[in-house]
Structure 1
């Protein structure tokens, strides 16, 4: 009997390191979510390509800002594990994620920078 795989949410999953974490999660069979900045007219073509590639692999991409507390809480309630691959300048923003985790109340674990 196969055990159910944990649902994983990766913040920074379209970044340099994060995209590899996402691919590893998918490879291991985990339902994988990415919380990423919204696509705007200023978004680089390479970032748009990463979004398309991850979507084609079955990744659920949630577009939002780290200040969107209720949106983050809503996504957290759908997953089991959170990974932060935020770039160094955004590390203090992990406090927003931690606050949302406390509200969601269902996260089994978090790993971050």
Structure 2
């Protein structure tokens, strides 16, 4: 059985969205150190996004993204279809970090 210290750290992009919030909860429930990237919260943000944002750390700068990528082994993207091309920025940051084992 895999120990808690050996579980990979996970970064989830889109973690406050419809699918992302379930991925975040599942990752945390499984005992993984979980980080979430989400767009900044505004006054017009959905209530569910505001609630999840309070629970998890938000990363909003490219340098911070690369910094946290260097700390994780798994990246999960749950960005919505309209932002699908934003995944190219994620892939670029993964290449710079150079250590990601899994990108889903």
Work out the CA distance in 2 between the residues paired with 1:63 and 1:42. Answer: 19
Picking from 68, 85, 94, the partner of 1:101 is 94
Contact 1:14/1:36 (<8 A) preserved? yes
Work out the CA distance in 1 between the residues paired with 2:79 and 2:87. Answer: 8
Contact 1:69/1:96 (<8 A) preserved? no
Aligned CA RMSD, in angstroms, stands at: 1.6
Q: Which residue of 1 aligns with 2:103?
A: 110
Would you identify which runs of 4 or more consecutive aligned residues in structure 1 move more than 3 Å?
none
Work out the CA distance in 1 between the residues paired with 2:59 and 2:65. Answer: 10
Q: Which residue of 2 aligns with 1:18?
A: 20
User: How many residues are matched?
Assistant: 102
TM-score (norm 2): 0.87
Work out the CA distance in 2 between the residues paired with 1:63 and 1:81. Answer: 16
Which string of whole-angstrom CA distances, capped at 9 and with x for unpartnered residues, describes residues 30-52 of structure 1?
Answer: 01000111223333333211222
Q: Which runs of 5+ in 1 are unaligned?
A: none
Q: Which runs of 5+ in 2 are unaligned?
A: none
Contact 1:8/1:32 (<8 A) preserved? yes
Work out the CA distance in 2 between the residues paired with 1:106 and 1:45. Answer: 35
TM-score (norm 1): 0.81
Work out the CA distance in 1 between the residues paired with 2:25 and 2:48. Answer: 17
Contact 1:12/1:86 (<8 A) preserved? yes
